[in-house]
Amino acid sequence: MNNRNVNVCPWCNYHYGENHDANCIYGRYFPPERATDLENACRLFGFSNLLRLMHSVRPNEREATANSILREGSVWTNDPVQGVLGKEFTLTSQIESFERELESTNKLLNIIEVKEPPSSSNLMK
């Protein structure tokens, strides 16, 4: 079991150890349940680079930046060879496949609509 204090924000835990800085401005962007993602991101980018990145963005952009950092750390851990590019390629391929399937289904529906004989209720009108 991990000895890490789960109540300490992962940012402070990674940076300060067990001590939580009362003035921590990044704790709200890195929730305790995403501590593993932060650790992965720190291994990937380095904590000092993440700190520099978080300092460089405007306060209203910090949440999106933190989410991107955590997502990238997770994706690279799951696919260390292709990383985000591999994930994008997989998703793009799936979208293209679904679009082809949708086009095929729409063509079949058009054929069925054309071949469908008029119903008796439509003839009485």
Parent domain of 19: 1-78
Identify whether residues 70 and 120 lie together within a single domain.
Answer: no
Angle among Cα 59, 47, 83 to the nearest 5 degrees reads 95
Identify whether residues 87 and 70 lie together within a single domain.
Answer: no
C-alpha R_g of the chain: 25
pLDDT per residue over 77-120, tens digit each? 888 888 888 889 999 999 999 999 999 999 999 988 877 666 65
65: tokens are 């930046």
pLDDT per residue over 37-89, tens digit each? 889 999 988 988 998 999 999 999 999 999 999 998 888 888 888 888 888 99
Identify whether residues 58 and 94 lie together within a single domain.
Answer: no
Identify whether residues 23 and 1 lie together within a single domain.
Answer: yes
First-to-last C-alpha distance (Å) of the chain:
75
Identify whether residues 64 and 106 lie together within a single domain.
Answer: no
Phi and psi at 46, nearest 5°, equal: 90, 135
Identify whether residues 35 and 51 lie together within a single domain.
Answer: yes
Name the domain count of the chain: 2
CA atoms within 13 A on the CB side of 64: 5
Identify whether residues 85 and 73 lie together within a single domain.
Answer: no
